[in-house]
Amino acid sequence: MPAAGRDAARPGTAVARFVLLRVVPLAIVLALWQAVSTWAISPVYLPAPVSIAARVGSWLANGYLLHNCYTTLEETISGFVLGVVAGALAGIALGMSRWWSGLLSPYINALYALPKVALGPLFILWFGIGLSMKIAMVGIFVFFVVFYNTWQGVKEVDAKLIQAMRLLRASRLQMVLKLIVPSALGWIFVGIRVSFPLALVGAIVGELIASNSGIGYVILNAANTFDTVGLFAGLFAVMVIAVVFDVALTYVYGRYTRRWALQIKGVTALS
Amino acid sequence: MPAAGRDAARPGTAVARFVLLRVVPLAIVLALWQAVSTWAISPVYLPAPVSIAARVGSWLANGYLLHNCYTTLEETISGFVLGVVAGALAGIALGMSRWWSGLLSPYINALYALPKVALGPLFILWFGIGLSMKIAMVGIFVFFVVFYNTWQGVKEVDAKLIQAMRLLRASRLQMVLKLIVPSALGWIFVGIRVSFPLALVGAIVGELIASNSGIGYVILNAANTFDTVGLFAGLFAVMVIAVVFDVALTYVYGRYTRRWALQIKGVTALS
Amino acid sequence: GGSNDESGSGNDGGPASVKVVVSTASISYAPLYIAVKQGFFKDQKLTVSITTVSGGGATVPALQSGSAQFGFSSVFHQLDAVQQGQKIVSIAAVNTGEGLDVVVSKKKAAQLGLNANSTLAQKGQALKHLKVGVISTSGEPYYVLSDLARAGGVDPSELNMEAVASSAAITAMKTGQIDAMTIGLPVTTEAIEQAGAQILVSCPAGDLPDLHEAPTETVLASASYVTSHASVTSRFVKAIGQAEAYLKANSDQAAETVRTGYFAKVDKQVFDTAWAEIANVTPAEPTLTAEQLQRTVDFVSRASGKKVKATGDQLLGVVK
Amino acid sequence: MNDPTVGPSHDGAGPSGSAVVIDGVSKQFTVHGRTSQALVDVALDAPRGEITSLVGPSGCGKSTVLNLIAGTIEPETGSVRHNGAPVVAINHDVAYLPQGDDLFPWRTVMDNVALPLELRRVSRAARHRQAREILALFGLAGRESSYPAQLSGGMRKRVQIARALLSGVDTLLMDEPFGALDAQLKVRMQIDLLERVHRQTGNTILFVTHDLAEAVALGDRVVVFSPGPGHVIHVENIDDLGDRSDLLSLTESPEFQRHVRTLWSLVAPELVHRSAASGATP
Amino acid sequence: MNDPTVGPSHDGAGPSGSAVVIDGVSKQFTVHGRTSQALVDVALDAPRGEITSLVGPSGCGKSTVLNLIAGTIEPETGSVRHNGAPVVAINHDVAYLPQGDDLFPWRTVMDNVALPLELRRVSRAARHRQAREILALFGLAGRESSYPAQLSGGMRKRVQIARALLSGVDTLLMDEPFGALDAQLKVRMQIDLLERVHRQTGNTILFVTHDLAEAVALGDRVVVFSPGPGHVIHVENIDDLGDRSDLLSLTESPEFQRHVRTLWSLVAPELVHRSAASGATP
Ligand SMILES: Nc1ncnc2c1ncn2[C@@H]1O[C@H](COP(=O)(O)OP(=O)(O)OP(=O)(O)O)[C@@H](O)[C@H]1O
Ligand SMILES: Nc1ncnc2c1ncn2[C@@H]1O[C@H](COP(=O)(O)OP(=O)(O)OP(=O)(O)O)[C@@H](O)[C@H]1O
Ligand SMILES: [Mg+2]
Ligand SMILES: [Mg+2]
**C57–B130 CB contact, under 8 Å:** no
Q: Considering only residues E76 and E186, tell me which one the structure prediction assigns the higher pLDDT.
A: E76
Q: Any alpha helices (H) in A128-180, and if so which ranges? A: 131-155, 159-167, 172-174
Provide the strand spans (E) within chain A: 210-211
Ligand 2 site-directed mutation target among B258, B263, B265, most atoms within 8 Å of CB: B263
Of E72, E116, E148, the CB nearest to A163: E72
Same-domain pairing of A193 and A166: yes
Q: Is B108 on the interface with C (CB under 8 A)?
A: no
Question: In which domain, by residue range, is A34 found?
Answer: 1-40
Give the atom of ligand 1 at the shortest distance from the alpha carbon of D225.
Answer: 21
Cα D59 to Cα D227: distance, rounded to the nearest angstrom: 7
Q: Does chain C reach chain B with at least 3 CB pairs under 8 Å?
A: yes
CA of A244: which chain B residue's CA is closest?
Answer: B106
Q: Considering only residues B176 and A257, tell me which one the structure prediction assigns the higher pLDDT.
A: B176
Q: Does chain B reach chain A with at least 3 CB pairs under 8 Å?
A: yes
Q: What is residue D56's DSSP assignment?
A: -
B12: confidence class by pLDDT, cuts 50, 70, 90? low
Residues of A in contact with B180 (CB under 8 A): 270
| The pLDDT value given to residue A11 | 57
SS3 A260: helix
**D187–E268 CB contact, under 8 Å:** yes
Task: Quote the number of domains for chain A.
Answer: 2
Backbone phi and psi for residue D221, each to the nearest 5 degrees, phi listed first:
-150, 150
Residues of B in contact with D115 (CB under 8 A): 168, 178
In short, whether D95's Cβ falls inside 6 Å of ligand 2 is no
Kindly give the distance from the C-alpha atom of residue D63 to the centroid of ligand 1, in angstroms, as a whole number.
Answer: 7
Work out the mean pLDDT of chain A and round it to a whole number.
85
Same-domain pairing of B171 and B106: yes
| The pLDDT value given to residue D16 | 59
Of A103, A110, A271, the CB nearest to B97: A271
CA of E73: which chain B residue's CA is closest?
Answer: B267
3-state SS track over chain B: CCCCCCCCCCCCHHHHHHHHHHHHHHHHHHHHHHHHHHHHCCCCCCCCHHHHHHHHHHHHHCCHHHHHHHHHHHHHHHHHHHHHHHHHHHHHHHHHCHHHHHHHHHHHHHHHHCCHHHHHHHHHHHHCCCHHHHHHHHHHHHHHHHHHHHHHHHHCCCHHHHHHHHHCCCCHHHHHHHHHHHHCHHHHHHHHHHHHHHHHHHHHHHHHHEECCCHHHHHHHHHHCCCHHHHHHHHHHHHHHHHHHHHHHHHHHHHHHHHHHHHHHHHHCCC
| The pLDDT value given to residue D26 | 92
Q: Is D167 on the interface with B (CB under 8 A)?
A: yes
**C57–B120 CB contact, under 8 Å:** yes
Domains and CATH numbers, chain D: 18-246 (3.40.50.300)
**B204–A110 CB contact, under 8 Å:** no
Residues lining ligand 1, CB < 6 A?
A 263-264; D 29, 31, 38, 58-64, 99; E 149-155
Beta-carbon contacts of E46 under 8 Å, excluding residues fewer than 6 positions away, are: E18, E19, E20, E21, E52, E204, E206
C21 near C219, Cβ under 8 Å? no
Same-domain pairing of A170 and A109: yes
**B163–D102 CB contact, under 8 Å:** yes
Beta-carbon contacts of D115 under 8 Å, excluding residues fewer than 6 positions away, are: B168, B178, D104, D107, D163
Of A1, A259, A263, the CB nearest to D86: A1
CA of A261: which chain E residue's CA is closest?
Answer: E149
Cα C285 to Cα C162: distance, rounded to the nearest angstrom: 36
Average pLDDT for residues D212-239, to the nearest whole number? 88
Same-domain pairing of A20 and A77: no
Same-domain pairing of B27 and B51: no
pLDDT at E274 over 50: no
- Per-residue pLDDT tens digits for D28-72: 887 777 788 889 999 999 998 889 999 988 888 999 999 999 998
Average pLDDT for residues D211-230, to the nearest whole number? 88
Return the residue whose CA atom lies nearest to atom 18 of ligand 1: D61
- Per-residue pLDDT tens digits for B53-109: 999 999 999 999 999 999 999 999 999 999 999 999 999 999 888 888 888 888 898
Q: How many CB atoms lie within 10 A of CB D196?
A: 14
SS3 A105: helix
Q: Which of B234-238, D225-229, E24-28 has the lowest mean pLDDT?
A: D225-229
E143 near A255, Cβ under 8 Å? no
Cα C261 to Cα C39: distance, rounded to the nearest angstrom: 13
Q: Which residues surround ligand 3, an ion (CB under 5 A)?
A: D 63, 99; E 152-153
Q: What percent of chain A has pLDDT over 70?
A: 91
Return the residue whose CA atom lies nearest to atom 7 of ligand 1: E150
Q: Considering only residues E278 and C255, tell me which one the structure prediction assigns the higher pLDDT.
A: C255
pLDDT at D184 over 80: no
Q: Which of C53-57, E51-55, E83-87, E126-130 has the lowest mean pLDDT?
A: C53-57
D141 near D135, Cβ under 8 Å? yes
Residues of C in contact with A42 (CB under 8 A): 64, 85-86
Same-domain pairing of A30 and A76: no
E278: confidence class by pLDDT, cuts 50, 70, 90? very low
Ligand 1 site-directed mutation target among D64, D212, D214, most atoms within 8 Å of CB: D64
| The pLDDT value given to residue B266 | 36
Beta-carbon contacts of C196 under 8 Å, excluding residues fewer than 6 positions away, are: C105, C106, C107, C174
- Per-residue pLDDT tens digits for A216-241: 889 888 887 778 899 899 999 999 99
Return the residue whose CA atom lies nearest to atom 2 of ligand 1: E150
**D102–B164 CB contact, under 8 Å:** yes
Which residues 226-245 of A have a C-beta within 8 angstroms of B? 228, 231, 234-235, 238-239, 241-243
Sequence length of chain D is 282
Interface test with B, best of D106, D110, D117, D174 (most B CBs within 10 A): D106
Q: Give ∠ CA C65-C67-C68 in degrees, rounded to 5.
A: 110
| The pLDDT value given to residue E88 | 86
Same-domain pairing of B20 and B55: no
| The pLDDT value given to residue A46 | 84
- Find the Cα–Cα–Cα–Cα dihedral B73, B79, B80, B84, rounded to 10°: 170
Q: Is A1 on the interface with D (CB under 8 A)?
A: yes
Q: Considering only residues A84 and A98, tell me which one the structure prediction assigns the higher pLDDT.
A: A84
In single-letter form, the type of residue at position E258 comes to R
Give the atom of ligand 1 at the shortest distance from the alpha carbon of A264.
Answer: 1
DSSP secondary structure letters along C270-301: HHHHHHHHHHHHS-SS----HHHHHHHHHHHH
Q: Is A162 on the interface with B (CB under 8 A)?
A: yes
Residues of C in contact with B120 (CB under 8 A): 53-54, 57-58
Cα B190 to Cα C101: distance, rounded to the nearest angstrom: 49
E139: confidence class by pLDDT, cuts 50, 70, 90? confident
3-state SS track over E71-93: CCCCCCEEEEEECCEECCCCCCC
**A226–C138 CB contact, under 8 Å:** no
CA of A225: which chain C residue's CA is closest?
Answer: C80
- Per-residue pLDDT tens digits for E210-261: 888 888 888 889 999 988 888 999 999 988 877 777 776 777 788 888 888 8
Q: What is residue E22's DSSP assignment?
A: E
CA of C167: which chain B residue's CA is closest?
Answer: B223
Q: How many CB atoms lie within 10 A of CB D87?
A: 27
**For the CA of A268, the nearest ligand:** 1
Q: Give ∠ CA A84-A87-A90 in degrees, rounded to 5.
A: 145
A262: confidence class by pLDDT, cuts 50, 70, 90? very low
In short, whether D197's Cβ falls inside 6 Å of ligand 2 is no
Q: Is A267 on the interface with D (CB under 8 A)?
A: yes
Give the atom of ligand 1 at the shortest distance from the alpha carbon of E143.
Answer: 31
Same-domain pairing of B3 and B117: no
Interface test with B, best of E74, E79, E81 (most B CBs within 10 A): E74
Same-domain pairing of B183 and B128: yes
Same-domain pairing of A30 and A141: no
ipTM above 0.90, yes or no: no
E184: confidence class by pLDDT, cuts 50, 70, 90? confident
Cα B143 to Cα B69: distance, rounded to the nearest angstrom: 22
Residues of E in contact with B4 (CB under 8 A): 88
Kindly give the distance from the C-alpha atom of residue E225 to the centroid of ligand 4, in angstroms, as a whole number.
Answer: 12
| The pLDDT value given to residue C297 | 92
In single-letter form, the type of residue at position B9 comes to A
Return the residue whose CA atom lies nearest to atom 5 of ligand 1: E150
Residues of A in contact with D42 (CB under 8 A): none
The structure's pTM equals: 0.88
CATH number of the domain encompassing residue B172: 1.10.3720.10
Our CA-based measurement puts residue D85 at a distance from the nearest CA of chain B, in whole angstroms, of 16
pLDDT at A215 over 60: yes
Sheet hosting strand E51-55, strand order edge to edge? E94-97, E171-175, E204-208, E51-55, E221-226, E231-237
CA Rg value for chain B: 23
The candidate with the shortest Cα–Cα distance to E62, out of E79, E28, E38, is: E38
Beta-carbon contacts of C243 under 8 Å, excluding residues fewer than 6 positions away, are: C30, C31, C32, C34, C35, C38, C40
Q: Which residues of chain C have pLDDT under 70?
A: 1-10
D75 near D93, Cβ under 8 Å? no
Residues of A in contact with B201 (CB under 8 A): 113, 115-117
Beta-carbon contacts of A8 under 8 Å, excluding residues fewer than 6 positions away, are: none
Same-domain pairing of A171 and A135: yes
Give the atom of ligand 1 at the shortest distance from the alpha carbon of A267.
Answer: 1
Q: Give ∠ CA A253-A257-A258 in degrees, rounded to 5.
A: 110
Same-domain pairing of B34 and B52: no
| The pLDDT value given to residue E280 | 37
**C54–B209 CB contact, under 8 Å:** yes
Cα D193 to Cα D280: distance, rounded to the nearest angstrom: 18
